[in-house]
């Protein structure tokens, strides 16, 4: 898994959202929308073969 992480101006909590079987990181899109609105950073990686 690769991603570029640029530090934000102000530190904030980060949540890592892990999908289950037969899903990918996109299944968390609606949740990430609400988390971002609340100022919470989240990462939802796609982990093929790990569900």
Asked if the structure places residue 49 within a domain, the reply is: no
**Which residues make beta-bridge pairs with 45?**
none
Contact 17, 42 (CB under 8 A): yes
Structure tokens at 7: 């530090």
Asked if the structure places residue 36 within a domain, the reply is: yes
Number of domains in the chain: 1
Question: What is residue 34's predicted lDDT score, i.e. its pLDDT?
Answer: 92
Asked if the structure places residue 6 within a domain, the reply is: no
Asked if residue 18 has pLDDT above 90, the reply is: yes
Asked if the structure places residue 37 within a domain, the reply is: yes
Task: Tell me the whole-structure pTM to 2 decimals.
Answer: 0.71
Q: How many residues does the chain have?
A: 51
**Domain range spanning residue 33?**
14-43
Q: Spell out the residues 6+ positions from residue 20 whose beta carbon is closer than 8 angstroms to its own.
A: 51
Asked if the structure places residue 19 within a domain, the reply is: yes
Rounded CA separation 17/42 (Å)? 7
């Amino acid at each position: 898994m690769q991603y570029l992480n640029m530090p934000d101006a102000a530190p904030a909590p980060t949540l890592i959202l892990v999908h289950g079987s037969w899903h990918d990181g996109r299944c968390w899109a609606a949740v990430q929308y609400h988390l971002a609105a609340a100022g919470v950073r989240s990462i939802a990686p796609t982990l093929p073969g790990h569900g």
